[in-house]
Amino acid sequence: MERKFNSQTKLHVKKGDMVQIIAGDDKGKKGRVIEVITDSLRALVEGINIVSRHTKPNAQNQNGGIIKKEAPVHISNLKVVDKAGNATRVGRKTNEKGKLARVSKKSGEFID
C-alpha cells in the first residue's frame, strides 16, 4: 500500500540543514542536505550514500567511465543536528514574530 503524501505537509528537514544518518550503511555520519525530494520523501545528503554510475562518453563527460555520486536517502533515516552538534527530533513553536518555526526537542532552541 503506497502512502499518499500531501505536498502541503511540512517536513523536518530542509535544504541546507546539517543532518545525521540514523540507519543504513552510513549510520552515524553527518552531512549537509543538498536537495529534498518531497514526492518520494527522500533527500540528497552531501557525502552520504555514494553510488557508482557507469556512463558513456557524452557532451558533458568526454571520457565516460565510472562516476561516484550521492543517491537519495529516505527522510525517516535522518535527524537534524542542532547548533550544539546534537542530533535531535524537530518540533514546531511560534517564535517572537508569531510565525511557526522549527525547534529542537533536545535543547528547546529554534532551528534556522
Domains and CATH numbers, the chain: 18-82 (2.30.30.30)
Which pLDDT band holds residue 10 (cuts at 50, 70, 90)?
A: confident
Predicted local confidence at residue 98, as pLDDT: 92
First to last CA, the chain: 35
Predicted local confidence at residue 9, as pLDDT: 76
Quote the CA–CA distance of 32 and 14 in Å, as a whole number. 10
Share of the chain above pLDDT 90, in %: 81
pLDDT at residue 1 greater than cutoff 60: no
For the whole model, what pTM was predicted? Answer: 0.82
Predicted local confidence at residue 7, as pLDDT: 65
